């Protein structure tokens, strides 16, 4: 269960892009049914198979969606920030989580209970259209991640993930452990060390004890696989 801290509804405009794109009336109605919460690092929002009791629209930080494999193996299959939401299976009428959904970057979010969310979906055609498009984008990203994991070298995949995280965190500095990077990339920790060391030697990043700073964004984009740019184009073309 999440340890999210509740905050009093402040009435300020939505900072989440999905909510911000709704017509004013629909957006105000959504926010009136939400509460703003602070999500702490390592908060578990859903465990696999758990009933979804809340949906989250992040306004800061970022959330990882991790699929378990046999034994202790895990692989990140999704990364959500203020461009999206978690709990999308409710849009499709499925009430249970498929992935471990974990806060990797602390930040605020709008939270709505599942029953209220379903009522909002029924009442707002604009919300339905927006979220259907977003689910399509997520499906494209999942397919791209599968291809990326299979065909692209670790260094390029790490560069892609760092850029994706920067875009969601809106900062060049963030913290991530070696262990979690291994989950993200589906490799052993030694592979993470080699890839991070290579990027650091090229003065693209600084990495020490889990603290990462992107020093050269354009340079890192040059190293990242084409999946990064493709994901951005897909989101821009479908959601705008």
Please give the distance of CA 172 from its chain centroid, rounded to a whole number: 16
pLDDT band at 11 (very low <50, low <70, confident <90, very high): very low
d(CA 14, CA 31): 8
Q: What percent of the chain has pLDDT over 70?
A: 92
Beta bridge partners of 205: 214
- DSSP output for 209-234: TTEEEES-HHHHHHHS-THHHHHHHH
Closest CA relative to residue 88, chosen from 126, 137, 42, 16: 137
Q: Which residue has the tokens 């740019």?
A: 229
pLDDT given for residue 8 in this prediction: 39
Cα separations (Å) of 14 from 30, 64, 132, 202, 229? 10, 21, 20, 39, 26
Cα separations (Å) of 120 from 91, 107, 139, 150, 187? 11, 24, 23, 39, 41
pLDDT above 50: residue 10: no
Q: What percent of the chain has pLDDT over 90?
A: 78
pLDDT 10s digits, 145-185: 989 988 999 999 999 999 999 999 999 999 988 888 887 88
pLDDT 10s digits, 14-62: 589 999 999 999 999 999 999 999 999 999 999 999 999 999 999 999 9
pLDDT given for residue 105 in this prediction: 93
pLDDT 10s digits, 180-229: 888 788 888 899 999 999 999 999 999 998 899 999 999 999 999 999 99
pLDDT given for residue 9 in this prediction: 39
pLDDT band at 7 (very low <50, low <70, confident <90, very high): very low
Measured from the Cβ of residue 13, the count of other Cβ atoms closer than 10 Å reads: 10
The enclosing H or E element of 79 equals strand 74-80
Phi-psi region of 101 (alpha: psi -120 to 50; beta: other; left: phi over 0): beta
Give Dmax (Cα) for the chain: 54
pLDDT given for residue 68 in this prediction: 75
pLDDT band at 230 (very low <50, low <70, confident <90, very high): very high
Cα separations (Å) of 177 from 174, 204, 212? 10, 18, 10
pLDDT given for residue 4 in this prediction: 61
């Amino acid at each position: 269960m999440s340890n999210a801290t509740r905050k009093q509804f402040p009435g300020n405009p939505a900072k989440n892009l999905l909510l911000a794109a709704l017509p004013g009336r629909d957006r105000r109605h959504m926010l009136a049914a939400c509460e703003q919460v602070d999500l702490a690092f390592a908060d578990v929002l859903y465990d696999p198979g758990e009933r979804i009791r809340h949906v989250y629209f992040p306004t800061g930080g970022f959330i990882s969606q991790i699929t378990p494999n046999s034994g202790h193996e895990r692989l990140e299959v999704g990364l959500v920030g203020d461009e999206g939401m978690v709990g999308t299976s409710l849009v499709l009428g499925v009430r249970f989580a498929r992935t471990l959904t974990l806060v990797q970057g602390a930040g605020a979010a709008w939270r709505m209970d599942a029953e209220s969310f379903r009522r909002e979906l029924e009442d707002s055609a604009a919300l339905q259209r927006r979220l259907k498009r977003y689910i399509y984008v997520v499906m494209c990203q999942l397919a791209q991640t599968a291809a990326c994991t299979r065909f692209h070298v670790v260094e390029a995949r790490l560069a892609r993930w760092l850029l994706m995280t920067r875009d969601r965190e809106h900062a060049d500095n963030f913290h991530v452990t070696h262990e979690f990077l291994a989950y993200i990339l589906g490799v052993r920790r030694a592979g993470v060390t080699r890839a991070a060391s290579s990027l650091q030697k090229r003065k693209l990043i600084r990495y020490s004890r889990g603290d990462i700073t992107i020093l050269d964004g354009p340079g890192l984009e040059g190293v990242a696989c084409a999946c990064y740019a493709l994901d951005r184009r897909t989101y821009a073309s479908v959601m705008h």
